[in-house]
Structure 1
Amino acid sequence: MSGLYFYDDSCAREFEPFALTRPASELRAGAMIVRERWERVTGLESKGFVGAKHLQDFEEEGAPPFISTGDIPAGSVVVNSRFVVALDADPKKFDVLMNEGAGCAVKLARSLPVKDLIGGKVDIASLQTSMGGRIVAGRWMSNVWDYIATLPAQLGEDIPILGKSLGSSLPRPGDTMGDGDVFIEEGAQIGQYVVFDTTGGSILIRRGSSIHPFTRLVGPVAIGRDCQVMGDRIATSSIGDWSKIRGEFSNSIVLGYSNKGHEGFVGHSYFGRWVNLGALTTTSNLKNTYGNVQLWTPSGTCDSGQQFLGTFFGDHVKTGIGMMLSTGTVLGAGANVYGSHAPPKAVAPFSWGDDEPYGEYELSKFLVTAERAMERRHVTLSAKAKQQLTESHRARWSAD
């Protein structure tokens, strides 16, 4: 097998507010990015992804390039990016991997023209002529809110597997409640009076991360590398590398390189990369009627079927001090919202302002801000990444 190729089908291409700026293979599901999960279980290197045209210049550390021409070689594995493979899966020998009657990965018996996948309409199981297929454990993400809905179960499965695979870990802390495991990778720092509550699940802290005094971690919780967790209750959450979190944080995912450095409740929410929340930014995650949360999607407003759902923050979103966000809010990539008015439940990408109608965040000014923010984490905004953000700015959607 020559490598992994990820395929964003038409469903994945509607996973806003993230699809405008990244492929679905670069979203965090449970304790790991989808691509990393597949690399781990197959032992293969990622070679490319097929997705929406505006992502043709997508560039991020570890991510494979966009491909639109030529052939995917025979022996390669084509993966549907919406499938979150279980970390203990062992798909070493297969023609087709199936889950819930649908093909999630296929090993190509012959080379495949990339153009066949460009439109996003292909069922990848049809690319293999063998009868049947192997069943593989994992979960389909059919809607963008499924990453949050499945988070407790996914973390419950992921953390013990990842924790036990660490080369070495620190001893179990003294201030631990419950029977779950606590995995602390060497190089992590734990302050005084940190409480580890494993009653509901295990806890994983990767190297370089710092847990400040008086933090209460309520499992299952996965904290990536080089993070700072600066107090309050952090529960049932997955926090990606190089993130800062302070204040009550519950049932939420941080893709990485994002900041919630102040007080303010966040629950059942998803942060893209390079998000920064102003002090006291607060998300509502439960309606006063206790009914299902409605969420804006490119196909219209949908009933999520979820009683708890907060805010989906696209890449590079910024909020001002004291921002109050309604249940089921979608903030498009690059949006900068502030002021005393709660924004509508869907804010278009690259919006700017304190109330409707929002202005457009001028591209040149946005890129300057993005470059400054990334430099603070010692990450360079490359010329190619600038071009990708430029294409995303051109392809931005309207929330009307």
Structure 2
Amino acid sequence: MINYVLFDGPEVRPHLLPLVFTRPMAELRIGIRTITEKWTDWLGVQPTHYTQSYLQEKYPYKKGSDTIYIHGGLCPSERLIRSLEELEPGEALLQGPILLAVRGKHLPLESLIHDNPAFHKQYYWDKVTVVQRLPDLVAYNGEQIAADFERITEGRTSQPITDRFTAYYNESKIFIEEGVELRSAILNAENGPIYLGKDVQVQDGVIIQGPFAALEGAVINLGGKMRKSTTIGPHCKVGGEISMSILMGYSNKGHDGF
């Protein structure tokens, strides 16, 4: 059985500080899910993390005789999964100078670089979403909300919008989990999906433009303006105007202002 590991590339990690001081790269949230959660869904198994030694106690690394090491900033897709499965031991998958994945036995973290001569290189030519720098998180967030939305909602039925004072547009791209409180809001999913997670509170007068996601337990205060490509992580409390932003979770920006 193949062992899957999400690694913190030594060429990339410094560019994602300070966010990765306290977490592996794959624990960053982009779209609705973290990168780890995306891979767990696509692979059907929980990958482990190969990161800095001081983080390994919380995020343990599982060694294996047949391991596929995956760039911690890489977001999965069906075509990419197939390409990873086709890798032979000793082969690396690259796109330009970006090392996407390597298959092999235990490899030192510092060896996971694109120009390692020990790797037999294969190249991936389809489009990929890979986080290499901090601005990539917000640049790709809208498209990842849409991709995650399709995975999360496939074959499922949204809770109905029962509040008669809430207006909504493009209802097929709005998904509401159980326990959501929604009052006198405007939901516009014409330019991208809107996902409201379990027990989210959308208070009176809130305006939301898709693509947008609010995760479990989040609260959007009275009159909040949530613009496109925004993710509000679990148990956050937000207000005012927010645009092209990601709140990872358990954070507050409850005041008015932009």
With the shorter chain as reference, the TM-score category is 0.7 to 0.9
Change in 2 beyond 3 A, CA 1:83/1:126: farther
Q: Secondary structure at the match of 2:248?
A: strand
Q: Which has the higher contact order (CA 8 A, sep 6+)?
A: 2
- How much has 1:90 moved relative to structure 2? 4.5
Change in 2 beyond 3 A, CA 1:134/1:75: farther
Query: Which amino acid in 1 is paired with 2:175?
Result: F
- How much has 1:121 moved relative to structure 2? 4.9
- How much has 1:264 moved relative to structure 2? 2.2
Change in 2 beyond 3 A, CA 1:132/1:80: same
Q: TM-score, length-normalised on structure 2?
A: 0.82
Equivalent residue number for residue 241 of structure 1: 234
Does the aligned pair in 1 maintain the 2:38–2:75 contact within 8 Å? yes
Identical-residue share of aligned pairs (%): 22
Equivalent residue number for residue 16 of structure 1: 17
Q: TM-score, length-normalised on structure 1?
A: 0.55
Q: 1:112 aligns with which of 87, 106, 115?
A: 106
Does the aligned pair in 2 maintain the 1:202–1:219 contact within 8 Å? yes
Note if 1:77 corresponds to 2:71: no
Does the aligned pair in 2 maintain the 1:104–1:125 contact within 8 Å? no
Q: Give the Cα separation in 2 of the matches to 1:36 and 1:222.
A: 15
Q: Give the Cα separation in 2 of the matches to 1:100 and 1:123.
A: 9
Q: 1:100 aligns with which of 92, 95, 108?
A: 95
Does the aligned pair in 2 maintain the 1:78–1:124 contact within 8 Å? no
Q: Write the mapping of 1:1-400 to structure 2, written as runs, cut at 5 A.
A: 1-14=1-14, 15-47=16-48, 49-57=49-57, 59=58, 64-65=59-60, 67=61, 72-86=63-77, 90-91=81-82, 93-95=85-87, 98=93, 100-101=95-96, 102-108=98-104, 111-113=105-107, 116-117=108-109, 119=110, 121-123=112-114, 129=120, 132=122, 138-164=128-154, 166=156, 168-171=157-160, 175-178=167-170, 181-190=173-182, 192-231=183-222, 232-236=224-228, 237-265=230-258
Equivalent residue number for residue 312 of structure 1: none
- Give structure 1 stretches of 5+ with no counterpart: 266-400
Does the aligned pair in 1 maintain the 2:94–2:101 contact within 8 Å? no
Q: Give the Cα separation in 2 of the matches to 1:43 and 1:51.
A: 22
Q: Secondary structure at the match of 2:152?
A: helix
For residues 198-255 of structure 1, the C-alpha deviation after alignment (integer angstroms, 9 at most, x for no partner) is 1221101111212112111110001111111113111220111111111111110011
Query: Which amino acid in 1 is paired with 2:240?
Result: G
Q: Give the Cα separation in 1 of the matches to 2:28 and 2:187.
A: 27
For residues 295-349 of structure 1, the C-alpha deviation after alignment (integer angstroms, 9 at most, x for no partner) is xxxxxxxxxxxxxxxxxxxxxxxxxxxxxxxxxxxxxxxxxxxxxxxxxxxxxxx
Aligned length: 247
- How much has 1:123 moved relative to structure 2? 3.4
Q: Which has the higher helix share?
A: 2
Bigger Cα Rg: 1
Does the aligned pair in 2 maintain the 1:24–1:82 contact within 8 Å? yes
- Give structure 2 stretches of 5+ with no counterpart: none
- How much has 1:182 moved relative to structure 2? 0.5
Does the aligned pair in 1 maintain the 2:99–2:113 contact within 8 Å? no
Q: Secondary structure at the match of 2:227?
A: strand
Change in 2 beyond 3 A, CA 1:253/1:84: same
